[in-house]
Structure 1
Amino acid sequence: MKPLHDTATHTGGHAGDGVETILPLAVLVLLAAGYLVLAARRRKEPLGWSSWRTASFLTGTGLLALALTPALSPFPAGDFRGHMYQHLLIGMYAPLALVLSAPVTLALRSLPRRHGRIIGRALRSPPIRVLAHPVTALILNLGGLTLLYFTPLYTLTTQSQTLHHLVHLHFLAAGYLFAYAIAGPDPAPHRPTVPARLVILGVAIAGHAVLAQLLYAGLFIRVPVPVAELRGAGDMMYYTGDIAELLLALALITTWRPQRIDARTHGAAQHT
């Protein structure tokens, strides 16, 4: 395998400071404050609002803040392992925490009924049904990673802050869609059965494992960084990514409510 060498432009695209750090953090603070206000109002109602969901939302926004603050990264600026650290937080851990906080349910309970009906119709619309399907989310997830690491796209992100932020946005959106499609507590009309979602999750786990091994081996990869960084990132994606996917599987299983048919009712129905 050819040794990979760092590029001079690698540090510049991923350092990120000043307004490019402050603005996303300010947005996260506003989102967290808005969620807290709505959750506090719902807690005064008879149905209440789960403090676990509130904690989950704050965890999700906290993980995003951690990923988007370069000074808090355990890796030096420009280190490819720092990129993988960000990817795991933005694309896997934070989305799962945000999805489990059920923000759509909170919005539906907080908005006027006419606005809630608009959201309900949007969730049942064909475009949203296709976009929120687990297979679509899986393609966006694995497809995005494949384009990033097997084409010159990663190098381009180190040269363009705008493209770098767009990739982060894709990680977050694709990760949120996948977690929502697999195990989200929010309404999801026409969601596949739990066994089907478990199969799709298994495909995702296998796909991430293959990508991680290719990264570690440097096979077909278009990421010009030192071998040690590439292998460290591959290890991180393989092991830490597995933990995130196991947490997603756990979330799915805990929401599984198998339909049970009462034998006496079924027998009576056969004799009518």
Structure 2
Amino acid sequence: MHSHMHVPGGGYETIVLILLLIALVVYPLAAVMTSRAYKSWPLHRYGLWVAGILTAGLALIGPLAAYAHTNFVGHMIGHLLLGMLAPLLLALAAPMTLMLRTLRVEAARRVTRLLKIRIFQFIMNPATAAVLNIGGLYVLYMTNVYSLMHESTSLYALVHLHVFLAGYIFTISIIYVDITSHRYSYLYRATMLVLALAGHKILAKLIYANPPHRVPRVEAEAGALWMYYGGDAVDLVLIIILCYQWYKATAPRHLALDKNG
């Protein structure tokens, strides 16, 4: 497999680096500027944004990205960073809320109306988001897409873009930290999260038992273990946040009943 591996050219890494640097600069700049007219932007969100961008950067450029081209374990570590940890960190930074308060009122209203159209509501449904996220991984690892993406820079970039966006959309469809077009019940979101976690674990076991095309068994087994247990670590944070939000939303009613009782 390694002898046929195609490594994306310098142009790819240059574009990624420029986009990451723009994201690192624009977010804090917008936060500082809008803090003059509105309530100060929380300091922890600056840190979450920077951490999320750097996490995505580790998976896309640099030593780990180079290692991922020649070893499935490196690829899987990158997958966890790009598709799970980075989306969680960035979602907690609430970039949509920041964008809306940066825009002029009329422009912000147009964006809000755009988010309410049917296609966006369909994509933001936790069930749809789970299929895009976990289903996309099944296509990647259970078909020849994984080997093919290392032979084409365009496909390589497209796969990584999908992994990140699908992970981000799934994250914001489960936990509501940022502005969202439609809010689903906690029970429904919890159910979709459990199903997605199950699908992720089943896929890890399938990779362990049946390595992707042209991936050595030893690498597949080690990568599958990273996927199984590394995914658990990020998923645990997601579960804690969802449960905390659920408890916070229902606790006031329980307290009121206690007082009246």
TM score, norm. by length of structure 1 = 0.88
2 CA distance for matches of 1:136 and 1:82?
29
Q: 1:63 to 1:153 in 2, by over 3 A?
A: same
1 CA distance for matches of 2:221 and 2:145?
19
Q: In the alignment, is residue 224 of structure 1 matched against residue 214 of structure 2?
A: yes
1 CA distance for matches of 2:98 and 2:173?
18
Cα offset for 1:163?
0.4
Q: 1:175 to 1:144 in 2, by over 3 A?
A: same
Which residue number corresponds to residue 214 of structure 1?
Answer: 206
Match of 1:142, as an amino acid?
I
Q: Please report the RMSD computed on the Cα atoms of aligned residues, expressed in angstroms.
A: 2.2
Between 236-245 and 254-263, report the one with greater CA deviation: 254-263
2 CA distance for matches of 1:203 and 1:19?
39
Q: In the alignment, is residue 237 of structure 1 matched against residue 227 of structure 2?
A: yes
Identity within the alignment, %: 34
Given candidates 91, 99, 107, the residue that maps to 2:91 is 99
Q: In the alignment, is residue 181 of structure 1 matched against residue 173 of structure 2?
A: yes
2 CA distance for matches of 1:35 and 1:65?
16
Given candidates 126, 151, 170, the residue that maps to 1:159 is 151
1 CA distance for matches of 2:155 and 2:201?
26
Which residue number corresponds to residue 193 of structure 2?
Answer: 201
SS of the residue aligned with 1:251?
helix
Which structure has more helix as a fraction of its residues? 2
2 CA distance for matches of 1:52 and 1:254?
18
The ranges of structure 1 where at least 4 consecutive aligned residues each deviate by more than 4 angstroms after the TM superposition are 259-264
Which residue number corresponds to residue 3 of structure 1?
Answer: none
Cα offset for 1:76?
6.4
Which runs of no fewer than 5 residues in structure 2 stay unpaired? none
Q: 1:76 to 1:115 in 2, by over 3 A?
A: closer
**In terms of Rg, which structure is larger?**
1
Given candidates 12, 15, 25, the residue that maps to 2:17 is 25
Equivalent pairs counted in the alignment come to 257
Cα offset for 1:62?
0.4
1 CA distance for matches of 2:65 and 2:11?
18
Which runs of no fewer than 5 residues in structure 1 stay unpaired? 1-5, 268-272
Q: In the alignment, is residue 68 of structure 1 matched against residue 60 of structure 2?
A: yes
Matches within 5 A, 1:78-117: 78-117=70-109
